[in-house]
Chains A and B, each alone.
Chain A
Amino acid sequence: MFFLQQLINGLTQGMIYALMAIGFSVIYGVVGLVSFVHGEVIMLGAFTGFLMISFLGTNLLFALIVGFIVTWILGMLVDSLAYRPFKDAPREIPLIMTIGLSIFLRSLTQVILGTQQRVIPSIFEGKYFVIGDIRITYIQIIIAVIVIALSLALQQFLYRTRTGLSLRAVSMDKDAAALVGVNVSKTIRTGYSLGCALGGVSGVLLGIYYNSVHPVMGASASMKAFASTVFGGLTSIPGAAIGGIVLGIAENLGVGYLHSGFRDIIAFVIIIAILLIRPSGIMGRKEGGKV
C-alpha cells in the first residue's frame, strides 16, 4: 500500500513536472534554444498564484488564469530582450541573456518580497478520498484534471489552428517557414510566451500542492523541467509529458524508499543516464549540437 500511495503522489507531482516540461519543450522547439529563465517564470507564476489566493482571496481558477496571463506577458518581455535582438548573433548570447535575466528576476523577487517562505492557505483543507488504504486528496484530482485539460487544449491548438500550424512549421525549419510566408519572429514570440504561460500555470499548481512558495524555488523547478524534457527528447511534447511523470514517480519512490536528500539528485541522475544511453531522448528526433 505504501508503494501505491507513493505512486499516486508521484503521479501528481509528475503531472506538474509534465506541464513545466511541456512549456520548456514548446520553447525549445520554437526558439531552438534552452531557456534558463524558465525556472524564474515558474517561480513568478507561483507567486502570482500566492498573491491572488492569499491576498485577494480569489478562487483557484481565477488564480490560474491570472498566472497564465502574467507569465505570458513576462514571456513577451523576455523574448524582446533575449531573443529578438540576437537573431543572427552567436547562439551563446541569448543563452547567456536568459541566465542573466534569471539571476536578475530571482534576486529582484527576493529584494521585493523577502527571502522567507510564504504559506498558501490550503484549498479544500486537505480533504481526501479513501480507496482501500490509499488517500487521494481533492487537490491531486484537480491538478490531474487541469494538466490533462491543458494538454488536450494545447494539442488542439497546435493541430487545429493556423497559429499552431505556423508554430509547428517554425519548430521544424525556420528558413523554410519564412519562405512559405510564416512571420517567424511573431511566431517565436507566440511560442515563447505560450511556453512561459504553461510554466506559470504549473508554478501556481506547484505552489498550491506544497502550500508554499519561495523566491529560490525556480532553480530546482527548472532542473525538473530540464530533466523531464531531456528524458523525452528536447522537442517532443508527448515525450516531455512522459518524462515529467516518470521523474515525479521516480522521485517519490526514491524519497519513500531511500532518503529524502535524494529528491533533487534523482533528476540529475536521470539527465546524465539518458544523455549517455540515448542522447536524443526516448521520443526525440535525431539531432544534436544545438546550444
Chain B
Amino acid sequence: MREFFRKNKKILLIASIVLAFILPLFVDNSYYMRVLVNVLIYILLASSLNVINGYSGQFNIGHAGFYCVGAYTAAILATRFGLSLWLLLPLSGLAAALFSMFLGLPTLRLKGIFLAITTLGFSEIIRLTVLNWTSLTRGPMGIPGIPFPKLFSYQITNNTQFYYIILFIVLLMLFITKRILNSRIGRAWIAIREDELAARSMGVETFKYKLLNFAYGTFWAGVAGCFYAFFTSYVSADSFILDEGFSILGMVIVGGQGTLLGPVIGATFLTILPELVRSIAEYRLVIFGAAIVITMLVRPQGIAGSKMLSQKLGRSTKKKVTKNKGGDSNVSTS
C-alpha cells in the first residue's frame, strides 16, 4: 500500500488535483458545496498551523486568534472602506503576520508548554478585545453585510465560485510551502525542530528563523480568516473561541504532523465526519473529541504521519533520529 503510494506519487497528486477541480460538477446541492468550502478553509488553517507545529516544533495552540485577526481585518476594511477581496487576502495575511511578530518577538524564547500557554492566552485576549471594543468591532453583535466579492466585473455569489477561489488559495499555499520547505529556510526550520541547540551551533540563527516561521504560518491563517469573512459575509467573535483553535490543532494531530499531506487528510476527515452524522447534530463536538482520543490511542503519529518528531518530543533521547520525510511527501487536495 505504502509502496504503491510512493511509486505513483506524481500520478496520484495530479489525479487528486483534477478530482478537486471537477468535484463541483458532481455536487449540485448548495449545502454540500458549503461543506466542501469549509473543508478547504480548514485545510488551509491546518496546513498553516502544521508549518509552525510540525516543521519548527513550536507548540502553537492559539491559531484561532490569528484566524480572528484576519477575519476582522477583512470585515472592517471591507465594510468601512470597501476594499475588495483580492486586495484584502494579502492584507489580512500581513495583519495576522504582524500580530504574530508582535507576540513572537518577546515570547519565542519560551519553550514547550510555556509558549503554548502564551499563544492560548494571546488567542483569548484577541477574542475578548474583539468582543469588548465595540466602537471598532461592534462587539457581540458582529459585523454583518460584508459585500460579495467581484472578479473583474463578474459578481461572485454562489458556493461553487467560492470553492474555486479557496481551492486556488490552498493549492498556492501548499505549493509555496513545499518550495520553502525544500529551501534553506525550510531546512533551518526542520533543524530547529530536531535540535535547537545543535542548529544554533551549526550557525542557524534560530530566533530569526522561528520568527519567520511563525509569521509565515500565521500569514495563511489570516488569509483563511479573510476568505471566511467574505464567504459567510458575517463575522462575530463566537467563531473564534478556543475550541476553534483546538479543532484546528486536532486536525493537524489526527492527520499527522510534519507532513504536507497530514493536515489535508486530518482537516478533510474531521470536517466531513461530523457532517455525515448530521441527524444527531448536537453530538458534533462529542464525535470530534472522540476522534482525537481514538486516533491518539490507535495511531499516535496521525493518519498520514511517519514516525517523526521522536528526537524533539520523545522522553527518551536514546531513540534513533528517524529520517525526515517531511520535505518530499506528496501534496494532495481532497
Mark A45-84 against chain B: 1 for CB-CB distance below 8 A, else 0.
0000000000000000000000000000000000001000
Please name all residues of chain A whose beta carbon is closer than 8 Å to the beta carbon of B289 when the two chains form the complex.
100-108
Among the stretches B5-13, B88-96, B164-172, B291-299, the one at the interface with A is B291-299
A268 touches B121 (CB 8 A): yes
Q: Could you say which of A86, A104, A276 contacts B286, with CB atoms under 8 Å apart?
A: A104
A-contacting residues, B3-32, CB 8 Å? none
- Interface range on chain B: under 10, 10 to 19, 20 to 34, or 35 or more? 35 or more
Mark A73-117 against chain B: 1 for CB-CB distance below 8 A, else 0.
000000001000111111111011101111111111011000000
Interface residues of chain A, those whose CB is within 8 Å of chain B, are: 33-34, 81, 85-93, 95-97, 99-108, 110-111, 219, 223, 226, 230, 259, 261-262, 264-265, 267-269, 271-272, 275-276, 279, 288-291
B250 touches A99 (CB 8 A): yes
B128 touches A261 (CB 8 A): yes
19 contacts between A and B (CB under 8 A): A34-B113, A81-B293, A85-B297, A86-B300, A87-B315, A90-B310, A90-B314, A102-B246, A104-B290, A106-B289, A107-B286, A107-B288, A223-B124, A226-B117, A261-B132, A262-B132, A269-B125, A272-B107, A290-B112
Please name all residues of chain A whose beta carbon is closer than 8 Å to the beta carbon of B124 when the two chains form the complex.
223, 264-265, 268
Please name all residues of chain A whose beta carbon is closer than 8 Å to the beta carbon of B205 when the two chains form the complex.
none
A-contacting residues, B278-324, CB 8 Å? 282-286, 288-293, 296-297, 300, 309-310, 312-316
CB-CB nearest in chain A for B59: A291
B292 touches A90 (CB 8 A): no
CB-CB nearest in chain B for A219: B242
Q: How far, in angstroms, from A269 to B118 measured CA to CA in the complex?
A: 9
Please name all residues of chain A whose beta carbon is closer than 8 Å to the beta carbon of B43 when the two chains form the complex.
none
Whether A275 touches B117, Cβ cut-off 8 Å, given contacts A92-B313, A110-B282, A288-B111, is yes
Q: Chain A's nearest CB lies how many Å from the CB of B122? A: 7
A92 touches B249 (CB 8 A): no
CB-CB nearest in chain B for A86: B300
